[in-house]
Amino acid sequence: MKLFTTDLSPNCRRVEATLHHLGLYDEVDVIRLNLATGEHQRDDLRAANPNGKVPTVVVGDMSLWESNPTMIYLADKAGAEDFCPSDAKTRFEILRWMSWELQHYNRALGDILWETIAKAKFGMGAPDQEIIAKQMDNFHRFAAVLDAQLEGRDYILGDTVTVVDFAVGGPSALALHPASQVPLDAYPNVKAWYLRLEALPAWAATAPKILSEAA
Ligand SMILES: N[C@@H](CCC(=O)N[C@@H](CS)C(=O)NCC(=O)O)C(=O)O
């Protein structure tokens, strides 16, 4: 199995963490690319993923791209029923939270984190305060939904970690970073859940190196 990936990407982190969680990481040929210098513009990645994006996983003659369905496929193939339950109701909940994180919560958070953290790490200039202000309204709207869902639960769907936590939690390290400007103290259940995720072995193994180097 081959994985094209990069550091500091929540999309890559959740796929890498899934591979760790499933005990598959040692079987993976990891190709870690520096996007800032264009290392990902290479023929073998484009052959596997016409978008030329990471994460991309190649398993046999199959190419997996888009991180959320990639995690589901890997978990299903590994028979990880606890991590990715296959009954219709839970599958609906998994797909619902994955759609929600892409369209709403992590879209807002991603824009904020790009401005406050990533641009500085990649030397791409000062944060755009207008973008941050606009997305902060969206962040508050959707973080309140997540905080309510996590009330009385350790993880999004209940007492055990599932693929949904990895999907929604992808940006946890960046959101917890002191420079992120993300007002997590207003959402204590979200903050506690992010810290719970960071403590999981699969999550700890995939902590963004750029952040720890700077710490
Ligand atoms: N929706 C995709 C997003 C993939 C994506 O945008 N990857 C970024 C890194 S986070 C990338 O490869 N950027 C390089 C580029 O677009 O050229 C997923 O979940 O996998």
Residues 14 and 166 sit within 8 Å (Cβ to Cβ): yes
Name the CATH code of domain 88-206 (choices 3.30.70.2190, 3.40.190.10, 3.40.50.1820, 1.20.1050.10): 1.20.1050.10
Residue closest by Cα to atom 18 of ligand 1: 66
Q: Is the Cβ atom of 54 under 6 angstroms away from ligand 1?
A: yes
Q: Is the Cβ atom of 53 under 6 angstroms away from ligand 1?
A: yes
pLDDT of residue 215: 47
Give the pLDDT confidence of 109-133 residue by residue, as tens digits. Answer: 999 999 999 998 888 899 999 999 9
- Ligand 1, closest atom to CA 12? 10
Strand order in the sheet with 2-5: 29-32, 2-5, 56-59, 62-65
Residue closest by Cα to atom 17 of ligand 1: 53
Residue closest by Cα to atom 14 of ligand 1: 53
pLDDT at 214 over 60: no
Q: Please identify which residue in the block is written with the tokens 């046999």.
A: 60
- If you measure from the C-alpha of residue 67 to the centroid of ligand 1, how many angstroms do you get, rounded to a whole number? 9
Do 2-78 and 88-206 agree at the fold level? no
Phi, psi dihedral angles at 70 (to 5 degrees): -60, -45
User: CA 97, CA 13: separation in Å to the nearest integer?
Assistant: 18
- If you measure from the C-alpha of residue 87 to the centroid of ligand 1, how many angstroms do you get, rounded to a whole number? 30
Give the pLDDT confidence of 39-53 residue by residue, as tens digits. Answer: 999 999 999 999 999
Pair type for strands 2-5 and 29-32: parallel
From start to end of the chain, where are the E strands? 2-5, 29-32, 56-59, 62-65
Pair type for strands 56-59 and 62-65: antiparallel
The domain locations on the chain are: 2-78, 88-206
| Percentage with pLDDT > 70 across the chain | 98
Band of residue 213 on the pLDDT scale cut at 50, 70, 90: low
Q: Is the peptide bond before 178 cis (omega within 30 degrees of 0)?
A: no
Superfamily of domain 2-78: Glutaredoxin (3.40.30.10)
Band of residue 210 on the pLDDT scale cut at 50, 70, 90: confident
Give the pLDDT confidence of 67-117 residue by residue, as tens digits. Answer: 999 999 999 999 999 999 999 999 999 999 999 999 999 999 999 999 999
